[in-house]
Structure 1
Amino acid sequence: MKLLCAPETHVFDPGDGAVHVVLYGQPGDPARGSAGQAAKQDILRAKLEAAPRAWDLLSIALSVVTADFAGLRDDSPDGWTREFELEIAVADPAFWETQAFQLEATLGFLTTDRWRLRFIGGGVQPAPPREPIRPDEDSVVLLSGGLDSLIGASDLVAAGKKPLAISQTVRGDAEKQAEFARLIGGGLRHLQLNHNAQVPGTEESSQRARSFIFIAFGVLAATTLARYRSGEIVPLYICENGLIALNPPLTGARIGSLSTRTAHPEYLHRIQEILDAAGLRVSVENPYHHLTKGEMMQRCADAALLATEAARSTSCGRFQRFNYKHCGRCIPCQVRRAAFLASGIPDSTAYVYERLGKDDEEHAGFEDVRSVAMALAEIDRDGFDTWLGSALSFPHVGDVAPLKALVQRGLSELKTLHEAYGVR
């Protein structure tokens, strides 16, 4: 699939065979897509001045997330892997051409698709505000409305940090994000941004590129801080428990593999290399890459906040599909439920499928529950190392020993959950 992504001032050729995507504007034609207009307006309305290459990175991320919506996996030869050719308007095409291969490899790792990127001039670079606001926060934290980001932001405040909270607005979570920001540490400065990606025709639902746009929002916000403007490095915190971040395949067929690679150490390392090459002084960090979700809950510095708000957080991979309720049986839901058990905090979440071990027609076909059960059985039979195989064989994951121990502890939490519900 070919896409040409550029501002509305670009002269689009209707005969070039590409899907045309208007960046930071309205499509103006039902055959075109669009993305980013509201985010740009919100950033400028807040009188924030971002680094030029941070705007370029956002343009790239908006193009990628729009392509992710436009390319239907069912139409691909294997029913999953897609091929994209993107032509993207940026302000500094010569530099970004030097990063094309790294971006393509990083996106391939994230989405398991094949990407080819080419850059042209004419990208959006908003004029700086007359009187820019340069926030005095010392860092940025991504606040999704999920349990891990709630814990992460509250832990940062308890440690004496002053983070700027950035949220990617998601239907069903926007109000929750704002409420969490208000409650954490007496209130965080909070900016909610929405990519508003729209494409003509049917949209793909898998959305494997969503973390790329979230990180781009965070990077752009980090470059607006006074600390960044003074020449310092700004930490960008992506708070995700280590088990979900690593995404180890549960079975040989990868049935019910854990979530996506949104915070995988290999992915974050590659992102960091791109930021460093761009001269963007932002350090991407996941403070919880060696902790399970249960351990995050146990160690949360604000136990009172966690006790009252944890059940309100969102973990489910099918939250919208189940009318903004937790299904209770997807991998993220199982990890969440296991974490509550491990922490001893009562779980008042209303799960659509509460009884994981129930064996009847209504509860049949729990692929993710079966996948966890199969993984636990294989470990009992063949041993942990045989089951894990080469799942951690990436060049930039760091010391493998603590990661293996993390996965073992995370699976132990899941085993306790399955035993509690009599899963066979």
Structure 2
Amino acid sequence: MTGSDHFLWWRGHRGDRPHDARWTEIGEEDFQEKERRITGRHHLPGPVPDWAEDLFRVARAAFIADKHVRRTGVRDRWTRRISLTVPVTEYERWQSAAVRTHFTALLQILTGDLWNVDFRPLTGHRVEEAMIFPDDPRASEVALFSGGLDSLSWAATRSRADNPRPLLLVMFREIGLLRLQQRVYKAVERLGGPRPVMLLPMSQTPAGDGSGLRLETSSRTRGLLYAAGAIRAATAHGVATVHIPENGQLALNPPLTPARSAACSTRSVHPWTLAGLNAVIAAVSDAGSAVRVVNPLAQLTKGEVCRAGRDAGLTPADLESTLSCGKPPTRRSGGPPVANCGVCFPCLVRRSGLLHANGADGTRYEASPWANNLPFNRGTDWRALQRWLLGRYTLTDVLTDTPLPPGTDPASALDVIRRGREELARLLQPAAAAEAAGAA
């Protein structure tokens, strides 16, 4: 470790303090929400096992460390060296070499940074129990619900299942986008499927670090935090599987250029990431309360996901009301009140998916990627996509970015990307029309 390392210590009980001045203390106060709202206000029908509380705490600590250590302060403006220590109840399990190896590798593939994660016993501190109402219905299925196209399509599909036990959707509120998320959830309710649907809203918004400076803008650990929250809820409901719906195209997220390889593109639902998270869960969980995280849409393109939503009863307007953008304009200071910028790579995939399923896309975007007046820097993803579509994409390309976990069929992954490329190629048609109109 060098002088450029960053040492962060998640607070335990009052007597549990760092041993020297290298360590910066972080903790529950670094979230805008009060701790009681996070851990005690949700109506859970059963207790949360210690290992799941530990996982949630560790994920929260990693998220705050990720936000507090700014990439602009390191030499290459990306790769950071972060040492993190977190107190856990199941200390012997977390401190094992297998867990530390799995969890460190998980963080490194997510963020592209060099992590050293250590655990210490959580003693002299009582974890506040959630409010338990034994008579509340227990869900038979749990899924993350973001307000995006994929999570909406999956929720709509599962709400139609012939199952008397509820579907639980775990939704993390997004700053400036809560109304949109609620509106998208209403689309599921309006379907009036035979199955009860419950919504569990959660909030995990980082506060400032006291410096007055803006926190790190990238947030590669957010997906891990959300998954841990859903896992926590699943254990209380006695559900053995958590669904994280993401089309296979964006789950694999092949880089459009060599500069966008590995953690420079989001990998939160990549097969390798889910396999790593499941390995951690298997190592720290109790035999009777283990949970497995899966992506139920891993074999579908964006267009196929949109079509599945239509088959479940969603309208084109329902699909167009969703959030897909990597950097929603409404989050920007002075940005327009629209959810999707229209020019980032997730928005381009969204455009192609809606064209595939509906034949048109009526989404209100901030900008068009083929507009003549688009600033040069905002057309970066569109130009990269055009070049990528003109080139070949082979099995070697699938295997050279982020490795696939054992048991994953590379040919199947390649086929998803191939079908996605065919959908994306449809975007070249309106681009050509716009160019012809401009020339005229």
Normalised by the shorter chain, which TM-score bucket? 0.7 to 0.9
Shift of residue 303, structure 1, vs aligned partner: 4.8
Corresponding position of 2:167: 163
Q: Which amino acid aligns with 1:168?
A: F
Q: Which residue identity is paired with 1:9?
A: R
Distance 1:277 1:75, change over 3 A: same
State the alpha-carbon separation in 1 of the partners of residues 134 and 32 from structure 2. Answer: 21
TM-score normalised to structure 2 length: 0.84
* 2:176 alignment partner, one of 172, 184, 187: 172
The farther-off stretch of 237-246 and 397-406 is 397-406
Stretch moving more, 4-13 or 292-301: 4-13
Distance 1:389 1:130 in 2: 46
Q: 1:103, 1:274 within 8 Å by CA — same for their partners in 2? A: yes
Which residue is 1:220 aligned to?
232
**Paired amino acid for 2:381:** D
Secondary structure of 1:339's aligned partner: helix
Report the 3-state secondary structure (helix = DSSP H, G, I; strand = E; otherwise coil) of the residue aligned with 2:168: strand
1:50-61 alignment runs, 5 A limit = 50-61=48-59
RMSD over aligned Cα, in angstroms? 2.6
1:150-186 deviation digits (Å, cap 9, x = unpaired): 0011111223353211011111222333333344254
Question: Contact 2:158/2:167 (CA < 8 Å) preserved in 1?
Answer: yes
Whole-Å separation in 1 of the counterparts to 2:315 and 2:14: 48
| Partners of 1:91 and 1:124 within 8 A in 2 | no
Alignment of 1:354-369 (within 5 A): 354=368, 356-360=369-373, 362=375, 365-369=378-382
Is the 1:21–1:35 Cα contact (8 Å) retained in structure 2? no
Specify the SS of the correspondent of 1:336. helix
**Does 2:342 align with 1:328?**
yes
Q: 2:200 aligned with 1:204, yes or no?
A: no
- Does the CA contact (< 8 Å) of 1:91 and 1:121 recur in 2? yes
Mapping for residues 291-370 of structure 1, pairs under 5 Å: 291-300=300-309, 302-319=311-328, 320-321=331-332, 322-325=335-338, 326-344=340-358, 346-354=360-368, 356-360=369-373, 362=375, 365-370=378-383
Q: Which residue of 1 aligns with 2:405?
A: 395
Letter in 2 for 1:193: M
CA distance 1:362–1:281, change in 2 (3 Å): same
CA distance in 1, matches of 2:185, 2:375: 38
Indicate which of 252, 257, 273 corresponds to 2:258.
252
Identity %: 27
Please tell me the residue identity of whatever aligns with 1:145.
G
Shift of 1:131: 4.9
Contact 1:311–1:348, Cα closer than 8 Å, also in 2 = yes
Aligned partner of 2:3 in structure 1 is: none
Distance 2:132 2:202 in 1: 22
Unpaired runs of at least 5, structure 2: 1-5, 436-440
Q: Which residue in the other structure is 1:125 paired with?
A: 127
Q: Do the aligned partners of 1:165 and 1:189 also contact (CA within 8 Å) in 2?
A: yes
**Residues of 2 paired with 1:393 and 1:215: CA distance?**
21
Determine helix, strand or coil for the equivalent of 1:85. strand
Structure 1 unmatched runs, 5+: 27-33
Secondary structure of the residue aligned to 1:243 is: helix
Q: Counterparts of 1:393 and 1:364 in 2: how far apart (Å)?
A: 31
- Please give the secondary structure, in 1, of the residue aligned with 2:296: coil
Size of the aligned set, in residue pairs, is 405
- 2:138 aligns with 136
Deviations 1:271-325 (A, max 9, x none): 1111112224212111110110101111226554242311111001110234452
Relative to the length of structure 1, the TM-score reads: 0.87
Counterpart position of 1:281 = 290
